[in-house]
């Protein structure tokens, strides 16, 4: 199970993507519970932003480096040569897969204990923080919901480059407003954030122009 959690898809057919899916769910629940307990004055929206901040790729990448995960990854020769063992998206996914593997092997409580050991210092460090930066996807969704528009949808429209250096192109769309925007990044998450930022800029500009005409 540990071997599979640390195996990137470039290495072979038995890789960590399904464990990553499970570990992502474990991670989000445990971090949500930590915030619920330690951020007693935070509103639901603030708790959601805090969780998004803590479980984002950048945070997972730093924790993966902290515990020495790069030395244990199983990658193809090409991926290893291109620096895949230090790539943020690969390390973030592997850490989530590790949480999923622990959950399957030893149960939720064991997995939760590992997540808590890694994330509690971050939660405590940020206690009392009045404002948390909103990522583009969150900001766009809140902007749309505040105006009773449907939430945006995301889809991968292209995967570019070789397996060891892929770029994802994602489309963000709000059909009700007939608006779309594209984003590109080294991971699906990064591409979605870029697309959301581009669409948010569109809707905000449109809103400003309408206000000026009014």
Question: How many C-beta atoms lie closer than 10 Å to residue 120's C-beta?
Answer: 15
How far is 14 from 74, CA to CA, in rounded Å?
11
How far is 138 from 212, CA to CA, in rounded Å?
26
What pTM was estimated for this model as a whole?
A: 0.66
Catalytic residue numbers read 24, 96
Provide the pLDDT for residue 57.
Answer: 86
**Highest CATH level, class, for 2-125:** mainly alpha
Residues of the chain under the 50 pLDDT cut = 127-131
Fold match between domain 2-125 and domain 136-213: no
How far is 7 from 188, CA to CA, in rounded Å?
19
Provide the pLDDT for residue 126.
Answer: 55
- All structural domains of the chain with their residue ranges: 2-125, 136-213
Provide the pLDDT for residue 71.
Answer: 92
How far is 190 from 168, CA to CA, in rounded Å?
8
How far is 40 from 143, CA to CA, in rounded Å?
25
Provide the pLDDT for residue 207.
Answer: 73
**Highest CATH level, class, for 136-213:** alpha beta
């Amino acid at each position: 199970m540990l071997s599979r959690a640390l195996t990137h898809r470039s290495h072979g057919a038995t890789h960590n993507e399904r464990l990553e899916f499970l570990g992502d769910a474990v991670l989000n629940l445990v971090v949500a519970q930590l915030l619920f307990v330690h951020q007693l004055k935070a509103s639901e929206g603030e708790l959601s932003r805090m969780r998004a901040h803590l479980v984002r790729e950048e945070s997972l990448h730093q924790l993966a480096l902290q515990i020495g995960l790069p030395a244990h990854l199983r990658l193809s020769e090409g991926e290893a040569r291109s620096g895949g063992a230090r790539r943020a998206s690969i390390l973030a996914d592997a850490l989530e897969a590790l949480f999923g593997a622990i959950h399957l092997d030893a149960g939720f409580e064991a997995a939760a204990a590992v997540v808590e050991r890694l994330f509690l210092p971050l939660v405590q460090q940020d206690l009392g923080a009045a404002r948390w930066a909103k990522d583009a996807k969150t900001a766009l969704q809140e902007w749309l919901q505040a105006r009773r528009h449907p939430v945006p949808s995301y889809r991968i429209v292209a995967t570019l480059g070789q397996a060891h250096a892929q770029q994802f192109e994602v489309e963000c769309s709000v059909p009700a407003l007939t608006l779309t925007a594209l984003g590109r990044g080294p991971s699906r998450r990064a591409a979605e954030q870029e697309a959301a930022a581009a669409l948010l800029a569109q809707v905000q500009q449109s809103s400003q122009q309408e206000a000026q005409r009014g």
